[in-house]
Chain A
Amino acid sequence: MLMKGTAARMGVMKRVQLVFKAKANKALDKMEDPRETLDYSYQRQLELLTKVRRGVADVATSRKRVELQMNQLQQQANKLEDQARKALGMGREDLARAALERKASAQNQLDELRAQYAQLQAEEEKLTVASQRLQSKVDAFRTRKETIKATYTAAEAQTRINEAFSGISEEMGDVGMAIQRAEDKTAQMQARAGAIDELMASGALDDAVGGRRDDIQSELDMMSASSDVERELSRLKGELTTGAPKQLEGGANGNAQTQAQPAGVPASERAAEPQDGEPA
């Protein structure tokens, strides 16, 4: 109880610092030879540097995946709006509505992805800075390590080693947490990205990407095809009704003569007509 009370009055800042310090001391206590501490710690630092760099690459990969999905969804939204416009042009408000509803859903996903993208970008920046800072500290540690080894007696070295070790250990704890945090965020977003990929593959968000034709498009195509058929039909019908006499008129003279001969007209009279028109 007393302990807890004391800790409570200490404040968050001091308590966190003590937790970090305890961690460093615990690691120091494990080492018997001060030189071993230096070399062991340096190895751990190099490992952490590799890890933080891999972390940066992982977050970048995730970010690029989200970016790709954003592009796909944007194309999708554009396409759906286009479909809605076409459907309206054909007087199919129901189809236009369906397309716009789907567009709204794509838009929602897009907004969500934008937020994720920004988060990943921030995470990437943080890790990049952390990796640069760690690199500086590791370089400084290496220099200090060599100096300590070369210049000081074992007894003197201990104090200096403890200082350098505590400083770098705190940084390593900090960077380690940053990597963990970035990994957690990336994992969450990978899961969401996977879900969106599935949605797109299932056609629920349509599929301009997969190249498969969606139902709205096929209905539009069908309507457009059937309106082509209708147009052809009415053209043909038009030809039949108004075009029939025209066709006869413009048709071969021979036909008119042979088929349309009124029975009562003498053959000689009619035979003379064309002859009149002909140049002598």
Chain B
Amino acid sequence: MIVRILGEGQFSVDEAATAELNKLDTQLEGAVERNDETAFTAALHGLLDQVRALGAPLPSDALEPSDLILPSPDSSMDEVRKLLTDDGLIPG
């Protein structure tokens, strides 16, 4: 599967890693819902580290759409919330 980290690029990640990524993603989502910035940062960075560690960067001329997309490392919780509702954060 292909995972994009916004601002960083796409990674090809083995399907076997899905469970591990989902566990972290659930924590991330919980943090956003509880409005817990500390937990949010920890979960986001944990998730990004996992993707970077388990994934292989896709060639830069790849044109495949991603299966999963992750916020950039310096995203605030507020930005991620906007990203989820698509109120104009993605240009175009």
Interface residues of A (CB under 8 A from B): 8, 11-17, 19-24, 27, 44, 126, 130, 132-133, 136-137, 139-141, 144, 163-164, 166-170, 172-174, 176-181
Check B29–A11 contact: CB distance below 8 A: yes
- Complex Cα gap A168–B64 (Å): 8
The interface on chain B, measured as residues whose beta carbon lies within 8 A of the other chain's beta carbons, has a size of 36
The number of inter-chain residue pairs (CB within 8 angstroms) is: 109
How long is the Cα–Cα vector from A126 to B5 in the complex, in angstroms? 13
Q: CB within 8 Å of A: which residues of B?
A: 3-4, 6-7, 9, 21-22, 25-26, 28-29, 32-33, 47, 59-72, 80, 83-84, 86, 89-92
Q: Which residue of A lies closest to B85 (CB)?
A: A19
Contacts of A136 in B (CB 8 A): 59-61
B57 to chain A, nearest CB (A): 10
Q: Which of B6, B29, B61 is in CB contact (< 8 Å) with A139?
A: B61
Whether the Cβ atoms of B80 and A12 lie closer than 8 Å is: yes
B63 adjacent to A140 (CB under 8 Å): yes
- The answer on a CB contact under 8 Å between A168 and B68 is no
A27 and B92 alpha carbons, distance in the complex (Å): 9
Among residues of A, the one whose C-beta sits closest to the C-beta of B40 is: A12
Instruction: Tell whether, in the assembled complex, residue A174 and residue B6 are in contact, meaning their CB atoms are under 8 Å apart.
Output: yes
A180-B91 contact given A19-B84, A170-B4, CB 8 Å threshold? yes
Does A167 lie within 8 Å of B90, measured CB to CB? no
Question: Is the pair B90, A163 in contact by a Cβ cutoff of 8 Å?
Answer: no
Alpha-carbon distance between A136 and B63 when the two chains are bound, in angstroms: 10
B25 and A176 form a contact (CB under 8 A)? no
In the bound complex, do residue B84 and residue A16 qualify as a contact, i.e. CB atoms below 8 Å apart? Answer: yes
* Nearest 7 CB-CB pairings of A with B: A176-B91, A167-B63, A13-B68, A140-B61, A11-B25, A136-B60, A166-B65
B63 and A173 within 8 A (CB): no
A residues less than 8 Å from B69 (CB atoms)? 13, 16-17, 20, 170
Tell me if A144 and B80 are in contact (CB < 8 A). Answer: no
CA A178 – CA B9 in complex, angstroms?
12
Whether B65 lies near A12 (C-beta < 8 A) is: no
A15 touches B90 (CB 8 A): no
Whether A17 pairs with B26 at a CB distance below 8 angstroms is no
Q: Are A132 and B92 in contact (CB under 8 A)?
A: no
A20 to B59, CA, bound (A): 20
Interface-centre pick from B9, B29, B71 (highest chain A CB count, 10 A): B29
The answer to whether B86 touches A21, judged by C-beta atoms less than 8 angstroms apart, is no
CB B26 to nearest CB in A, in angstroms, measures 6
Q: How far is the CB of A10 from chain B (nearest CB, A)?
A: 8
Q: A28 → chain B, closest Cβ, in Å?
A: 12
A12 touches B32 (CB 8 A): yes
With A167-B62, A168-B63, A174-B6 already in contact, the answer to whether A17 and B68 are too (CB < 8 A) is yes
